[in-house]
Structure 1
């Protein structure tokens, strides 16, 4: 029989705890008694665990809870060197464990380059709504903790604040804050004791925070990481029976795929979002069909793209008012989607007109990140049809705001300015804009 390798993960936690072998065993036995399953482990059993012998499966979450109480933080099976329990097991904390592992890797500067190296997957499999709805996980808390609706409100408010920072400055600095909040506050709340209504509300709030964190990862160009956050968000949305956030996340996945030029997955995610949508009002219908239009256009499906544009415009006309927009969707966003459809279908001039309409319809609550991104698109398309001076004027407006922005997507647009203007440096305005962009990129 092969001698097992020492469990380095468990050994690390054991040393951090400061326990003796006897104290470790006593802590596990005590929690077993609390749960109505008395245990009688002694030092030799602990010694075997550290040497690589796996504890019985029902004992593993108890060991995690013992260390969680001692070290005052939630722990995952992977950290303790244990295999992940099979799906459906009572002790299987897959969503919370996965969220903790993902968030901790994202927080750790030494791991961030590894996490960010994951590639966007066009074949990503997402859980269907019937497969995830109501899947409540039996998870235990470390230190006894009870939560109420006030804690849910706090998570929602913090998510709103992080979103505001992302809108104003980009996701590069806001996203690590979101990851830390997920690990240090939200994940323990997901394991806390709470009435059913509160548990579902907390999972729903955590789901949207996962979506926002994924959205900010997209802004940094970390597309594989973004997909991992999106999948965790879908699991939590399903477990909390939150149809709206589930659809919102799928739509965000379609936006990501479309922006990367992957038409087939963009259509698949957009259609899945629309199919899973609960009965909704015209504004949400526009929110979903507008993205479908963009996805169809990227996929080269002109007929369905134009049909979806018409559905979006009709739905927006039926919406009661421009206030209270769902997901930030407004007439300005419709104009942006029409611009993207026109450009994907080869109508560059029409795309410019629609982008200009978009900016006329924007208001002060719209994202500064999207303002710089869409302005950059406008300048690139103005240059594409030979309107050099108009393009330079638009780019100079972008460069006015660029120093305060921390967005990889905006950075990529700004980095294109010098090369796009190189052939026109004989023009004084083009030369001045070229030099200004070159200097801005050095800072």
Structure 2
């Protein structure tokens, strides 16, 4: 369980050929992880892990993966891993495995945000194993979905489709809240591969499924109208409709709660890029400026890359006063390395 070791940090980069363990294969894999210890764990121990995961998730949302992952990894190694080796009743053991699965999924997501993609895959794989051992379909599907997000962001469209479809195949037992979550992901992955018919079909399915989904949310698995509009924007952009993509991303930004600061900064940067792509330079500068307001509060590799791209995109337009003003303001805020 010690995923903080240097050998893991220096693991290979993202592998598009990564084997996906199917649901029957992962159930029960963790039996050998238990060993005799001096005490037994109970429901309060599980509640502690769940509560800490929620707090760490909030930290990630607000401050980014580089800030949140180190304490999260430490919590896994020093607290959660020993608990997994401690005796417990069967119900408590399964609940602890499920809680640990959520935590490993979250840590993988943080590593993606840092740009440590090989490390993220290791955490995701461990999350799948723990979800199988605890028979937690929801986290199993959520993790496969996260792996699909990682793949599509890195340009591996076919892999993203494979992972999204694997999540969907395992989803019936995860409940109705998971279906819109997965359909939106399938839509984006299909659009990345140019499959217009499937992409639009999955978008319609996501919209219908959201109307039927339960209103309650889970810290690591919620899907909101902002999320749906984000996927609509991604699909429209991939299918050659940048104006529609701008409209949907603006709606996503309007609907997204302020607590999701990292997502807000990232998506505003994407929105600005798409505004520029349709010739709306000054609108793009305003949007980038709004993202820059929050940039100093978020430590994220993905957002750094967005601002690196911003500098490249603005350079041809520095005769425009709005573009020049934004460029100079950003130079005073972001690390000099992003200007290269």
* TM-score bracket for the superposition, by shorter chain length: over 0.9
1:218 and 1:433 map into 2 onto residues whose CA distance is 28
Structure 2 equivalent of residue 226 of structure 1: 120
SS at match of 1:122: coil
1:372 and 1:116 map into 2 onto residues whose CA distance is 28
1:377 aligns with 2:270: yes
Structure 2: 5+ residue runs without aligned partners?
Answer: none
Cα shift at 1:432: 0.5
Structure 1: 5+ residue runs without aligned partners?
Answer: 1-98, 106-110
Residue 249 of structure 1, aligned match among 143, 161, 166: 143
Q: Matches of residues 105-184 of structure 1 in structure 2 within 5 Å?
A: 105=5, 111=6, 115-116=9-10, 118-141=12-35, 143-184=37-78
Q: Matches of residues 39-438 of structure 1 in structure 2 within 5 Å?
A: 99-100=1-2, 102-103=3-4, 105=5, 111=6, 115-116=9-10, 118-141=12-35, 143-279=37-173, 281-319=175-213, 321=215, 324=217, 327-365=221-259, 367-438=260-331
Larger Rg: 1
2:257 and 2:28 map into 1 onto residues whose CA distance is 39
Higher relative contact order (CA 8 A, sep 6+): 2
1:344 and 1:330 map into 2 onto residues whose CA distance is 21
2:252 and 2:90 map into 1 onto residues whose CA distance is 43
**Residues 179 and 199 of structure 1: CA distance in aligned 2, closer, same or farther (over 3 Å):** same
Q: Matches of residues 20-31 of structure 1 in structure 2 within 5 Å?
A: none
Structure 2 equivalent of residue 68 of structure 1: none
1:385 and 1:117 map into 2 onto residues whose CA distance is 40
Cα shift at 1:261: 1.5
What is the aligned-residue RMSD (CA, Å)? 1.7
The answer on whether the counterparts of 1:415 and 1:441 sit within 8 Å (CA) in structure 2 is no
1:359 and 1:345 map into 2 onto residues whose CA distance is 21
SS at match of 2:32: coil
2:173 and 2:227 map into 1 onto residues whose CA distance is 22
TM-score of the pair, normalised by structure 2: 0.94
1:376 and 1:116 map into 2 onto residues whose CA distance is 29
**Residues 258 and 356 of structure 1: CA distance in aligned 2, closer, same or farther (over 3 Å):** same
The answer on whether the counterparts of 1:244 and 1:278 sit within 8 Å (CA) in structure 2 is no
Alignment: residue pair count: 335
TM-score of the pair, normalised by structure 1: 0.73
CA deviations on 1:98-121 (whole Å, 9 max, x unpaired) are: x22x23x1xxxxx37x72452100
Cα shift at 1:136: 4.3
